[in-house]
Structure 1
Amino acid sequence: MNIYIIRHGEAKKDSVFNFEGYPDADLTEVGLKQAQLTGKHISTVPFDAIYSSDLKRAMQTSDIISSYQQGLKVEIDKQIREINMGVFHTSSEEQIRKDYPEFYNEFLKKDTDFRYPEGESGEEVLRRTLNFLESVKHKKFNNICVVCHGGVIRSVISHFIGLPQHKRFNLYPFNCGISLLRYDGDNFKVISINEISHLGIYAAF
């Protein structure tokens, strides 16, 4: 089974929050173009299933990709939503530095897998993402598409290339970058990471 993992397109910065506190922004015009270029780029891959996070920026991206697959229905799964950054979603950096000084120091150093106050750690994101992969790996699929988020991609790719979770910050998944995993019946293997050649001038650095 080939698993194409795609980060959503560029999203608006003036995020709104859904009922669980996650930023839930729409795609920008650039993000919509990135999704279209990605859908066209992988249109020759005959996907058996397309999975998406339940956050809007991922669903909008996956809907565009699915339009290049004869309208293949997108399946929504909360297990692949973005890391919950807790107080980072509701407080300024200055306030966090004041209220959570020990955490803020960890956040700056990034040499441990810290847990965001009122949020998640990289390990927690990894566990739910691995649960998702476990749920799909035994299905009789040849190719699946998974549209999710930078935090999810960082955690799972780090895991499969043998890096501890605090090293995930050394990875930078681009908007609509494509990473490819292959499940051979026994193990997941990383085939490629963060392909962006299809984005051209829309590869936002």
Structure 2
Amino acid sequence: MLLIGPPGAGKGTQATYIAERFGIVSISTGDIFRENVKNETRLGQAAKSYLDAGQFVPDSVTNAMIRERLEQSDADKGFLLDGYPRTLVQVDYLDEILAAKGYELDLVVQLTADTEELVQRLLLRADRENRSDDTAEVIRSRMELYFTQTTAVTSRYNERGILTEVEGIGSIPEVTSRVSTALDLTLGSSSRQTTTLGAGVGV
């Protein structure tokens, strides 16, 4: 399974819930990057050189990190990926990894939310955590980058009929309830089709 959503949409909380529900490992690309950089692995050093230069880490480095992580034994019985893939090149690479293992994606959950509401949420968090660098301009730039990167990705999974959109604004219990309903409807159905769940929105 994949979990996709903009910054501030609460992916981490929902990833924990989904992983616990199905007894699978939750894999965050952010965590993978930090672990590799911290441990000064070959891939971590490569990634750090790009990050230090203010550049995007190329797909080749990110893909290699993902492959290494998915080859670990705890991913054999299933996994939830958070933050990957973000480009069509990465989509194709993930397909190759899964095909080699005889797997395929069951579901892609996309958390959706109004951009301005997320900006305000992140500004409040920045204030609480004294993140002075997280200005409204910086946050909006991150949002724009997210949508630029992920539109083609979500479109690809929508074409495959495995994309489920869930409204990510609301209390944690409310969003978790929507995610739970989406999982029941999509994984419990023999026919796959795009589903959208929001506050008060039918399926």
TM-score (norm 1): 0.34
Say which structure is richer in strand: 1
TM-score (norm 2): 0.34
